[in-house]
A and B are shown apart, each in its own frame.
Chain A
């Protein structure tokens, strides 16, 4: 499975809360430059998977290798180096409420770089420019809309030029049009900056529009039940449940 350039390798991964297993021994790869979507029904462990991949939790077993280094075992400086390779947009944005957007984006720059003060402002401003929020640099997070907060959160996640961006439910709480705009932004960033995206979502229109590949987790077996391109899964999957998952939304989309 190494023909395409693999940037993240998850191997024999098991996640558990206490002694309740949520994900049981799964393996998959994320390829460089692709938009990779983790999906599945509510409570199947998507957020759990994501939180382990960004190193917030320690898995009950297995390894998660990001660009050659295992985030599970890395410590200290080595761990900091891995953390620098990716940015994360949390489900609710998680912008710091007491700082302006510019200060939010600047914060990682202050922590990790030693470029001149003014240059930090400039770089931070370019990130806001990329997500179309340059004119809102001086606003507080509470003063902008939910969709804008998500975009600002993406700008902050991109502050250090990560190669990988993790997004937790980018379209949650957004109307279809705003959500489509966000999809366009994601596609543009993936194309122009060659960023690899790992996205948790169950918004099917968005999956069809952005995903190169998806994996689908299932709560009952605690495993991956499908891997592939979304359109292929919809049309060709052997698992009736998977086909149903993809088609239900297709029907709903047609109905609306």
Chain B
């Protein structure tokens, strides 16, 4: 085998496949590489020669390289072909589907366990805070409340309005065929107050504040600020998490009420466009919905607010090292809290049913 000329990026790219093919097919016992004609060699050329050497070993081929200039020989010196028997691969092999489903379920269960534990820890901190209100960092509570509550109002109300509007509009058409369009207010009212108001607020909170909590705390974790808190004798749970939870839980009911009002307003506009007077909309609402519907939604809202804030903080604290870890925590804060809110909503539906709420 004769290799000659300048071995650089461009030339090795064309020789490389030939060379490896030769070594995987040949059944020669000994190969002599005549390297006398190599006029230039860089890291790529050295890589090629190294590749030839390492491929010869497992096939029992006795390889001799002759005529390589001393300068080039020196470039090969640092590398031991034996150390390159197997190359680490850059991509992970895809696990079989069953395995990945299993792993996902296991991860979910582990997550629920971690969340339960974390809830316990937060509850302890909250109880402590309730008895020692002076230890709460009210400034942080206020700041978070403004961002999570007041700043979220426009978007929450806009979405609430559109949901009420679209729901009324979509239901009015089929209901009108049965002459039942007078019940549009009932539908909008019950759906908004009992389900959509709280759920939509929780999802909005997850996307805005839950993600922000995870990112803030995650970044602090990555920058070792959390470790700094611990060494200063400040518990991260009390210092970082309690204020956020208080703010989020306190703001959620307000947001829900505003979402409900906006949704009902959307329904009203559709109802009036059907040719009914506004008064009738309110009469219908008064007859069909009760304070219980509102309260049921608000109680749910407290729970959702807690779940979203707690998951956001938990994901933040679970952040491993590196900038991409913060991104992962943020994503999983949103996903996990939406899943938990959905599960929680199902549980509330069952409990309310048995309580006759």
Q: 8 Å CB contacts to A: which residues of B253-310? A: none
Min C-beta distance of A60 to chain B, whole Å: 33
Inter-chain CB contacts under 8 Å: number: 82
Are the CB atoms of A123 and B87 closer together than 8 Å?
no
Contact of A161 among B9, B84, B89 (CB under 8 A): B9
Do A142 and B16 form a contact, CB below 8 Å, given A103-B90, A123-B43, A126-B79?
no
Are the CB atoms of B13 and A115 closer together than 8 Å?
yes
Are the CB atoms of B90 and A102 closer together than 8 Å?
yes
Interfacial chain B residues near A123, Cβ < 8 Å: 43-44, 47
Q: 8 Å CB contacts to A: which residues of B120-152? A: none
Contact of A130 among B13, B48, B78, B321 (CB under 8 A): B78
Min C-beta distance of B271 to chain A, whole Å: 52
Q: Does A74 contact B (CB under 8 A)?
A: no
Are the CB atoms of A106 and B43 closer together than 8 Å?
no
Do A98 and B324 form a contact, CB below 8 Å, given A122-B87, A126-B50, A158-B43?
yes
Are the CB atoms of B43 and A192 closer together than 8 Å?
no
Which secondary structure dominates where chain B touches chain A? Answer: helix
How far does the alpha carbon of A192 sit from the alpha carbon of B43 in the complex, in Å?
12
How far does the alpha carbon of A192 sit from the alpha carbon of B46 in the complex, in Å?
13
Tally of contact residues, A, Cβ under 8 A: 33
How far does the alpha carbon of A158 sit from the alpha carbon of B89 in the complex, in Å?
20
Are the CB atoms of A121 and B50 closer together than 8 Å?
no
Min C-beta distance of A146 to chain B, whole Å: 13
Interfacial chain A residues near B9, Cβ < 8 Å: 112-113, 115, 160-161
Complex A-B: 28 CB contacts under 8 Å: A98-B324, A100-B90, A102-B88, A102-B90, A112-B9, A113-B13, A116-B13, A116-B20, A121-B89, A121-B90, A122-B47, A122-B84, A123-B44, A125-B87, A125-B88, A126-B43, A126-B78, A129-B79, A137-B88, A140-B322, A142-B320, A160-B9, A161-B8, A161-B42, A161-B44, A192-B74, A192-B77, A192-B78
Beyond A121-B89, A130-B78, 17 additional contacts (C-beta under 8 Å) are A97-B325, A98-B322, A98-B324, A100-B90, A113-B9, A115-B44, A116-B17, A118-B87, A119-B16, A119-B20, A119-B51, A123-B43, A123-B44, A125-B84, A129-B79, A142-B320, A161-B43
